[in-house]
C-alpha cells in the first residue's frame, strides 16, 4: 500500500486540467483565439472527434452561450469540423466526443467521491466484475452502432460514458499507487 496522497493529487490535477481544456478550447475558438486550433490537434490522439457525435458550445447572435448537439445530418456525419454555423447561433465543438466528455467528467466526479468509499492510498482493486459491468453499456452501445444495428444518440453516449467514467478512478488510482510505491522503493532515498 502506498503511504502518500501524491498519486491521488497528481491524478486529480491532471484530470482537472484535461477536463478544463475540453470546455475551454471551444470557448477560445468562439473568441477567435488561434490557440484553440493547437488544442484541438493536441486532443486528436484521444478521440475520433467526429462532429456528429460531439457536443458544441453554442454562441447565439446575442452572445449567450449554451451546450448542445453539434448536428446530426447524414451528409455531414463523418466530418471533423470544429465550427458549425446555424442562422441564429454558431457552435464550437468540444475537443472530444460526447461519450468521452462524459467519461472524463465522470472520472473527475468518481475521483472526488473515492476518498469517501475507500482509502486513497490503497493499491487493491475493487472486484473486477464491477468494472466489467460498468463497461457493458458502452460496449453494447458502441458495438451496436459499429455493426449498424442503430445510430446512438449523444444522450445515450453521455449516459454510457458516465457509467464507465465514474468507475475508472477506483481502478486507475490503485495502479498509480502501486507505481508510486515501486518508484519510491527503487529510486527513493537510501538510508
Average pLDDT over residues 108-122: 94
pLDDT at 4 over 90: no
Domain extent at residue 128 = 101-186
d(CA 15, CA 17): 5
Residues 6+ apart with CB under 8 A from 154: 53, 54, 55, 69, 98
| Structural domain contains residue 20 | yes
Average pLDDT over residues 29-42: 94
Final residue of a structural domain among 67, 93, 119? 93
Summarised one tens digit per residue, pLDDT across range 52-109 is 899 999 998 888 999 999 875 555 566 788 888 888 888 999 999 999 999 999 999 9
| Structural domain contains residue 5 | no
Written as one string, the DSSP assignment of 88-134 is SEEEEE-SS-HHHHHHHHHHHHHHHHHHHHS-TT------HHHHHHH
| Structural domain contains residue 8 | no
Both 72 and 37 in one domain: the answer is: yes
Final residue of a structural domain among 93, 109, 140? 93
Average pLDDT over residues 34-60: 92
Both 84 and 151 in one domain: the answer is: no
Would you give the end-to-end CA distance of the chain in angstroms?
Answer: 20
2 beta partners: none
pTM above 0.85, yes or no: yes
Q: What is the pLDDT of residue 9?
A: 96
Summarised one tens digit per residue, pLDDT across range 140-173 is 999 998 898 988 899 999 999 999 999 999 999 9
CA dihedral of 52, 157, 93, 81, whole degrees rounded to 10: -30
Task: Output the furthest CA–CA distance in the chain (Å, rounded).
Answer: 70
Average pLDDT over residues 20-47: 94
Number of structural domains (the chain) is: 2
pLDDT at 191 over 50: no
Q: What is the pLDDT of residue 2?
A: 58
Both 177 and 117 in one domain: the answer is: yes
Final residue of a structural domain among 93, 112, 135? 93
pLDDT confidence band for 12 (50 / 70 / 90):
very high
Low-confidence winner among 17-21, 66-70, 83-87, 122-126 (lowest mean pLDDT):
83-87
Amino acid at each position: 500500500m502506498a503511504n502518500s496522497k501524491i498519486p491521488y493529487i497528481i491524478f486529480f490535477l491532471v484530470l482537472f486540467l484535461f477536463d478544463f481544456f475540453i470546455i475551454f478550447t471551444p470557448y477560445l475558438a468562439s473568441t477567435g483565439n488561434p490557440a484553440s486550433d493547437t488544442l484541438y490537434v493536441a486532443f486528436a490522439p484521444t478521440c475520433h472527434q467526429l462532429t456528429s457525435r460531439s457536443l458544441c458550445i453554442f454562441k447565439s447572435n446575442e452572445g449567450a452561450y449554451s451546450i448542445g448537439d453539434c448536428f446530426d445530418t447524414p451528409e455531414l456525419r463523418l466530418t471533423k469540423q470544429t465550427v458549425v454555423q446555424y442562422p441564429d447561433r454558431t457552435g464550437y465543438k468540444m475537443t472530444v466526443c460526447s461519450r468521452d466528455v462524459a467519461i472524463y467528467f465522470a472520472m473527475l466526479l468518481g475521483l472526488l467521491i473515492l476518498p469517501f468509499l475507500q482509502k486513497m492510498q490503497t493499491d487493491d482493486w475493487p472486484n473486477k466484475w464491477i468494472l466489467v459491468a460498468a463497461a457493458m453499456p458502452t460496449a453494447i452501445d458502441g458495438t451496436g452502432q459499429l455493426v449498424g444495428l442503430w445510430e446512438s444518440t449523444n444522450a445515450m453516449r453521455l449516459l454510457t460514458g458516465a457509467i464507465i467514467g465514474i468507475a475508472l478512478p477506483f481502478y486507475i488510482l490503485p495502479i498509480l499507487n502501486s507505481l508510486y510505491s515501486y518508484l519510491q522503493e527503487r529510486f527513493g532515498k537510501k538510508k
